[in-house]
């Protein structure tokens, strides 16, 4: 009889409970947005400027609603009014990278 209780306890989960567990697991993966100091921002500006001179690819780490995502490509345009970069990736797609979302910029690995 006890094995039946264990069987039902482990295999029967209400959909609402399952969704709650999934939301909890996703919430544990989220991180807070790091605060950048003036020196880090200046270093990133220099990296972008040098990359634009030679047309080299950059790797942008972006904060996106609790998660960190990466965009790799060459900066083709800097929009100071909308405060964003236009970055072309390897597939030829244009990505709009907002200044406020950037947490790190580095030269993309070649190859």
Phi first, then psi: give them for residue 58, nearest 5 degrees: -120, 160
The residues facing 107 across adjacent strands are: 58
| 45 is a domain residue | yes
Q: Looking at residue 107, what is its pLDDT?
A: 92
| 80 is a domain residue | yes
The CATH code of the domain that includes 87 is: 2.30.30.100
Q: Looking at residue 98, what is its pLDDT?
A: 95
Q: Looking at residue 26, what is its pLDDT?
A: 77
Residue 98 CB contacts under 8 Å (≥ 6 apart), including other chains? 62, 83, 84
Q: Looking at residue 14, what is its pLDDT?
A: 77
For the whole model, what pTM was predicted? 0.72
Q: Splitting the chain (111 residues) into consecutive groups of 10 residues, what average pLDDT does each group show?
A: 51 77 80 90 93 92 91 93 94 94 90 57
Q: Looking at residue 2, what is its pLDDT?
A: 52
Rg value, the chain, Cα: 21
Q: How many domains does the chain have?
A: 1
């Amino acid at each position: 009889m006890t094995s039946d209780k264990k069987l039902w306890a482990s295999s029967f989960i209400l959909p609402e409970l399952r969704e709650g567990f999934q939301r909890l697991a996703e919430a544990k993966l989220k991180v807070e947005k790091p605060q950048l100091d003036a020196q880090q921002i200046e270093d990133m500006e220099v990296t972008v400027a040098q990359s634009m001179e030679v047309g080299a690819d950059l790797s942008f780490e972006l904060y996106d609603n609790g998660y960190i995502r990466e965009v790799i490509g060459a900066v083709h345009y800097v929009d100071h009014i909308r405060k964003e970069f236009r970055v072309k990736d390897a597939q030829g797609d244009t990505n709009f990278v907002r200044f406020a979302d950037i947490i790190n910029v580095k030269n993309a690995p070649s190859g």
